[in-house]
Amino acid sequence: MQTTGRLKHPYETVWGASDDFKRVESHACPISTCAAPAGSPCRTGKGKVAIQYHTARFRLVPQLAKTLSVPTPAVRKPGSLWSELPRPASAGTEPVGHVRLGYARASTARQSLDAQMGSLTEAGVTRVFSEKISTLATQRPDLEAAVKLAGEIRTSGVAVTLVVHDHKGLGRGIELALLAEELKAGDVGLEFLAGELKGSHDPSGIVFTVLAAMSGIEREYIRDRTLEGHASARKRGKTIGGAGVTDGDMLSMALHLRDQEMSLCDIAKRLVITTGAKKGQHPSPATVMRMLREYDERTAAALAA
């Protein structure tokens, strides 16, 4: 069987960590209805980020001339409202100067950031973004602000490194891999002051990607242990979750839907109670919220142990 297009590295298939989109975005889109400038993804006629780049644009890249399509990576959030991104610095230009931005995070409001702030200051960080929020949160405003500022500074021709006390402060699993892809897209360096990844790292490196995958496996292991604990508790006659209507299958589906950033109301409409007097009905948004909150609390306690 014949294949079309360039062969991909195995990790490109898993993480979507290809450089193709950077090559494509080095050119402005020649399609008049799009006209996306260099550094930004293509857009649809309705002002959304296109799910793939226009053919006339990616064929400006010699390596992609015979490729059938080039998908827009997740880091560009295809389907979201399009907005112009910082334009890339001139190719081949050596960075002028170096800025070190820091990020510190604690999971709960009771935890102190003093130790992290101190280590970042000693490491020569000029500005620190900090927040107290779980890594399970789908949005972390201060981390997003740090990455955005780093990208803007880099486009001005200045080298930038994002410095973090420990890689666990950034996230786990796919979130960590997507963040690495975003830093790679902005040509932003990454440095950890402690932990297994201590030192400076290329966000696109294989070691970083593998460790991100291992972190994802760790979270799945914790989730499976939680569900097994629920099953064991039910055998002993103990009620788990909101008014006895939730179960492990419902929790798994709710977690999957939450990862897709669905609202509590929409998640509740997709779930069905399978036992008890309310069998066949949908749980209330309050029940879903309580079930997910209890799961988050158990997971956070397990990770902190």
Active site residues: 107
Query: Cα–Cα distance between 29 and 21 in angstroms, integer?
Result: 12
DSSP string, 116-165: HHHHHHHTT-SEEEEEE--TT-S--HHHHHHHHHHHHHHHTT-EEEEEES
User: Containing H/E element for 104?
Assistant: strand 98-106
Query: Is the CB of residue 295 less than 8 Å from the CB of residue 240?
Result: no
- Name which of 77, 136, 105 is nearest 259 in CA terms: 136
Edge-to-edge strands of the sheet including 98-106?
127-132, 98-106, 159-164, 189-192, 199-201
Query: Is the CB of residue 235 less than 8 Å from the CB of residue 243?
Result: no
Q: H helices within the chain, ranges in order? A: 10-15, 20-24, 55-58, 114-122, 141-155, 173-185, 206-235, 248-259, 264-270, 285-304
